[in-house]
């Protein structure tokens, strides 16, 4: 059963709408017990529904995977495989992916970060806990110790940060579904 079937309705400006705010109560009240979860690294091609089927033998429980990981839009918030990632970059930046991997083209640089000089200590490098835009970098006269972050590297890091997710252990699923239903019905 889809999570949408559990949501209560509210009336707003004489219109019936789904009350999305009750989701916060579920997360706050139930999802704080880390013993109920384990970490899963999403493989290329895995989707929430296929993962739910593999883990819970029920693809319709994909909403649990999405909910416990704070994923609102699986098309934007779920890790993309390589083909999807390249297509996304081409559409977003309207250019060939090869141009996004370089740091020799200013338009392919997202920001600069401080990597340090040979003489810098770890503390000195850590003190530079900020980035600067390509414009600022250029106006400062291309200061030493700063390294460009390409669009490809930046977007790839964002995408890969979505790869590690939490999975609720099977033995808690039934109880969790009932608690969600109760909270939403009393929402």
Q: Which two tokens stand for residue 85?
A: 């990632």
Report d(CA 37, CA 10) in Å as an integer: 32
- Strand, coil or helix: 140: coil
Q: State the helix-helix crossing angle for 22-30 and 173-186, rounded to 10 degrees.
A: 140
pLDDT, tens digit, 9 for 90 and up, residues 12-27: 778 776 665 665 566 6
Q: What is the pLDDT of residue 28?
A: 64
Q: What is the pLDDT of residue 97?
A: 86
pLDDT bucket at 11, cuts 50 / 70 / 90: confident
Q: What is the pLDDT of residue 70?
A: 86
pLDDT bucket at 1, cuts 50 / 70 / 90: very low
Q: What is the DSSP letter of 161?
A: T
Q: What is the pLDDT of residue 98?
A: 87
Report d(CA 89, CA 46) in Å as an integer: 20
**pTM of the complete model beyond 0.85:** no
Tell me the pLDDT of the chain averaged across its residues: 86
Q: What is the pLDDT of residue 117?
A: 92
pLDDT, tens digit, 9 for 90 and up, residues 121-174: 999 888 888 899 999 999 999 999 999 999 999 999 999 999 999 999 999 999
Q: Where are the domains of the chain?
A: 3-79+166-186, 82-159
């Amino acid at each position: 059963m889809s999570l949408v079937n559990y949501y209560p309705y509210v009336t707003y400006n004489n219109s019936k709408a789904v009350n999305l705010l009750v989701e916060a109560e579920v997360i706050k009240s139930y999802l704080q017990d880390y013993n109920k979860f384990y970490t899963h690294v999403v493989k290329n091609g895995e989707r929430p529904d296929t993962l739910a089927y593999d883990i819970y033998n029920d693809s319709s429980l994909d909403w649990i995977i999405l909910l416990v990981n704070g994923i609102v839009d699986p098309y934007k918030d779920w890790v993309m495989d390589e083909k999807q990632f390249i297509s996304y970059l081409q559409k977003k930046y309207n250019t060939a992916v090869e141009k996004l991997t370089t740091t020799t083209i200013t338009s392919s640089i997202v920001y600069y970060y401080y990597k340090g000089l040979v003489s810098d200590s770890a503390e000195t490098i850590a003190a530079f806990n900020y980035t600067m835009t390509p414009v600022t970098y250029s106006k400062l006269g291309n200061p030493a110790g700063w390294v460009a972050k390409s669009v490809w590297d930046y977007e790839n890091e964002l995408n890969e940060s979505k790869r590690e997710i939490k999975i609720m252990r099977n033995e808690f699923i039934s109880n969790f579904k009932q608690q969600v239903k109760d909270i939403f019905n009393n929402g």
